[in-house]
Amino acid sequence: MRELSSIFIAWFVVFLMRLLSAVGDSRSAYDHFLDWASSPLVVALNVLTLVFITLHAVTWFSLTPQAMAVQVRGRAVPGSVIIAAQYVGLAIVSAFIFWLVTR
Amino acid sequence: MTQAPAVRRPKRRILPLVWLTFSGGGVIAAVFLPVLVLLFGLAFPLGWISAPDYAHLHAVVTNWLTRLVLLGLFVPMLVHSAHRFRYTLYDGLQLKRKLLIAFLCYGAAMAGAFASLLVLLSMR
């Protein structure tokens, strides 16, 4: 199931490119983009995208300790610490982006 | 995410660069996308939060640092997506035309990377 997140990641990169292209173009293109983004089909797609991205984030974070052994001063860092660190990173990045676009 | 298990599976010659970009893209998608989908995919279009003012958003995204950062986010995510989709097709659907699938997946990622470069460069 989580493998399907790849499709939604690609979709949202395309979505963001459309946003950037609209913002780079003009104010009316931006308004037009927001209209398009609020159409039922796109909203439904983005609800699914949020579900799959969340699934991706949770599963990816929990797999990281197996893929990456971190050592500090010769001692292995416990997996729970690596996982927690990623959630802290997620929180900081989310807060920063929220601040950047809404201030 | 230090290295691919190349020793145990010598037959699967994943280019280390692809592997590195794949895992980097996975991390980026996990850390950056949830807030972006929530804000730009749902909250702004549906008016849960009033959408950012055009002038402000324009100033943010046309900044050259932002453009550079966005390129650095988009390209690994596209590679990640292509790489994962490729193995979804191999393993999930048991498809046999492996070379063709790999070509199409990475080709799409490269086309996407090129398109994002064009978009980021052409913003006025």
Distance from CA of A73 to the nearest CA of B (A): 18
Distance from CA of B16 to the nearest CA of A (A): 14
CB of B51 closer than 8 Å to CB of B45? yes
∠ CA A99-A80-A88, nearest 5°, is 5
* pLDDT at position A33: 97
CA separation (Å) from B6 to A97, B11, B82, B87, B91?
A: 37, 8, 21, 17, 19
* pLDDT at position B6: 46
Residues of chain A in contact with residue B123, where contact means CB-CB under 8 angstroms, are 20-21, 23-24
Contact at CB, B78 and A93, closer than 8 angstroms: no
How much is the average pLDDT of B88-94?
81
Residues of chain B in contact with residue A79, where contact means CB-CB under 8 angstroms, are none
Contact at CB, A98 and B40, closer than 8 angstroms: no
Domain assignment present for residue B61? The answer is: yes
How many C-beta atoms lie closer than 10 Å to residue B104's C-beta? 15
Where in chain A are all domains bearing CATH 1.20.1300.10? 1-67
* pLDDT at position B76: 96
Separation CA B105–CA B85 (nearest Å): 7
Domain assignment present for residue B11? The answer is: no
Instruction: Domain count for chain B, please give it.
Output: 1
Tell me, rounded to whole angstroms, the distance of Cα B65 from its chain centroid.
19
**pLDDT of residue B9 exceeding 60:** no
Contact at CB, A21 and B60, closer than 8 angstroms: no
Distance from CA of B96 to the nearest CA of A (A): 19
B20 pLDDT tier (thresholds 50, 70, 90): confident
CB of B1 closer than 8 Å to CB of B49? no
- Per cent of chain B over pLDDT 90 is 68
**pLDDT of residue A95 exceeding 90:** yes
Domain assignment present for residue B10? The answer is: no
* pLDDT at position A7: 95
Domain assignment present for residue B2? The answer is: no
Please report, in angstroms and rounded to a whole number, the separation of the first and last CA atoms in chain B. Answer: 38
**pLDDT of residue A44 exceeding 70:** yes
Separation CA A68–CA B64 (nearest Å): 33
Task: Please tell me the CATH code under which domain A1-67 is placed.
Answer: 1.20.1300.10
**pLDDT of residue B4 exceeding 60:** no
Domain of B90 in residue numbering reads as 16-122
Domain assignment present for residue B55? The answer is: yes
pLDDT digits (tens, 9 = 90+) for B98-116: 889 999 999 999 999 999 9
Q: Is B44 on the interface with A (CB under 8 A)?
A: yes
pLDDT digits (tens, 9 = 90+) for B26-84: 999 999 999 999 999 999 999 999 999 999 999 999 999 999 999 999 999 999 999 99
Contact at CB, A101 and B37, closer than 8 angstroms: no
A10 pLDDT tier (thresholds 50, 70, 90): very high
Domain assignment present for residue B24? The answer is: yes
Separation CA B88–CA B106 (nearest Å): 14
* pLDDT at position B32: 97
Q: Is B81 on the interface with A (CB under 8 A)?
A: yes
